[in-house]
Amino acid sequence: MTQPRRIIIFDTTLRDGEQSPGASMNLHEKIEIAQALQELGVDVVEAGFPIASPGDFAAVREIAATIHGTTVCGLARCNPDDINRAWEALKIAKHPRIHVFLATSAIHREFKLRMTCDEIIQRAVEGVTLAASYCDDIEFSPEDAVRTEHDFLCRVVEAAIQAGATTVNIPDTVGYATPTQMGATIAMLRNRVPNIDQAVISVHCHNDLGLAVANSLTAVENGAGQVECTINGIGERAGNCSLEEIVMAMRTRNDVYHCETGINTRRLVPTSRLVSGITGMQVQRNKAIVGRNAFAHEAGIHQDGILKERTTYEIMHPEDVGFSKTDLVLGKHSGRAALADRAKTLGYRLSGEQLQEVFEEFKRLADKKKEIYDGDIVALVEQQLHGVVQEHWKLVSFEITSRTGDVPHVRMTLRNGGQQVTEEVTAGDGPVDAAFRAVEKITGLGLVCKDYQVRSATIGRDAQGEASLEIEHAGQSYRGLGVSTDTIEATVKALLNAVNRIAASAGQAG
């Protein structure tokens, strides 16, 4: 029997993923995600675009210093300044890779670069040659390759490999390709580029037509050896190829693709939740592999089939991607050890202090709810890991009166250090608006709500509400997260979480 082919998983969550509007991350968050990607088993982490900003440079450099079992990659345009800057950030990495790109399609040549084909080949060769003088692992991407004429694409790829590229990436930059077209492009390169066997063929597919995963799979079928993807499929515009989907498709349909990866699939759901919590980009419930409904069965016919034989309606084991097989129900008599064990099973590692904080919130929740489900525990842990900052402002109590036809009234008390402040506000279009106005009045901050979402952590009338929001203050955006069985309280907690981030960034309490 033929051995399955090993596909390299190149994760660009920290580079292309961060380019999603609203998904920017600070240095600590990037390092946390990079470490999670290493634990997940990705082969290459594209840590950023070093010349883009001092923050990007610092992130790539710190990740290069921190990550040792995974290749760390930095992106660079095909010019000396970019490449030199990328190497400066990457040179301390144990396994560095410089990723050089240059647009090649006719539309980019004419309107963006204003360069001839010969000039582009010369620039590509010079860029790859310079990068190869720094390290042995060089990736070259002809940007918008799928819309590039085949004859010219072959010339560029051959020249880049001859100059030292060890990986040639074929991007579908604007998500325009179809699976048939992508497969034919990879097959064409394998047949026409004489030195193609000296490099790994990679693909980087965008999801503008919802075809990123399908295009990547077809590329693999036709000989691609690396797939570039992101956690939850985040990225510019409609996003990128979803890592969890491409990995599980190749694993589940190994009979078709005859491929394997080095991904620890049981880390898929925890990593998805980590990225979602840090970026504030919620995963839709029906998202393949990691969505809350991915292994949920409500229809009676499906439930009956599952009870008789799981494979009637499930093609994967939920445990294989990081879900628990069943929802373990905990209650108010459950102890810290049971909670710690459940959190560990769900993929979270809590320090003693973090566990104590979660346990205290767990006990408070258990007094309100009869049963606590995995979703409740996930919400509590996520709030502790990603929602908690130093609490300059803390909610003490609030009362809201809201009747049809009347202006809402709120009485709110917040604590700042040892001082409690109480204000009453009669204003707003509803209880949430009134709560926002009360927080503004007490803290003295002018806040603009840019995004606000409330969702249920579990099922049932007593389910916890998870409130997430984005506010703007002094031209800067701040995210907040709050959890409570009372959605208004969850909203106030989320707002105060964002306010405390403002205070932390200002270096003062209020």
pLDDT in tens, 59-110: 999 999 999 999 999 999 999 999 999 999 999 999 999 999 999 999 999 9
pLDDT bucket at 467, cuts 50 / 70 / 90 = confident
What's residue 244's pLDDT?
Answer: 98
* Segment of 201-210, 346-355, 501-510 carrying the highest mean pLDDT: 201-210
pLDDT bucket at 350, cuts 50 / 70 / 90 = confident
**pLDDT(298) > 70:** no
Q: How far apart are the C-alpha atoms of 348 and 474, rounded to whole Å?
A: 35
Average pLDDT estimate for 323-346: 69
Average pLDDT estimate for 150-169: 98
Out of 69-78, 249-258, 296-305, pick the least confident.
296-305
What's residue 64's pLDDT?
Answer: 98
- Beta-bridged to residue 45, according to DSSP, are 11, 72
Strands of 149-265, DSSP E: 167-172, 200-205, 226-229, 259-260
- Beta-bridged to residue 393, according to DSSP, are 416
**pLDDT(303) > 70:** no
Q: What is the DSSP string of 298-349?
A: -SHHHHHHHHH-GGGT-SS-GGGGT--SS---B-TT--HHHHHHHHHHTT--
- pLDDT averaged over every residue in the chain: 88
Q: How far apart are the C-alpha atoms of 270 and 277, rounded to whole Å?
A: 10
Out of 14-28, 218-232, 408-422, pick the least confident.
14-28
CATH fold, domain 5-279, is TIM Barrel (3.20.20)
Q: Which CATH superfamily is domain 389-506 in?
A: Alpha-isopropylmalate synthase LeuA, regulatory domain (3.30.160.270)
**pLDDT(52) > 80:** yes
Rg for the chain (alpha carbons), in Å?
Answer: 25
pTM of the model: 0.76
Out of 56-65, 258-267, 287-296, pick the least confident.
287-296
What's residue 508's pLDDT?
Answer: 42
Q: How many residues does the chain have?
A: 510
What's residue 423's pLDDT?
Answer: 87
- Dihedral angle over CA of 220, 224, 226, 230, nearest 10: -50
pLDDT bucket at 459, cuts 50 / 70 / 90 = low
Out of 27-31, 51-55, 264-268, 337-341, pick the least confident.
337-341
Out of 142-156, 253-267, 492-506, pick the least confident.
492-506
Reference 138, options 92, 104, 90; nearest CA is 90
Relative orientation angle of helices 54-66 and 80-90, to the nearest 10 degrees? 40
What's residue 254's pLDDT?
Answer: 95
**pLDDT(387) > 70:** no
CA 199 to chain centre: 29
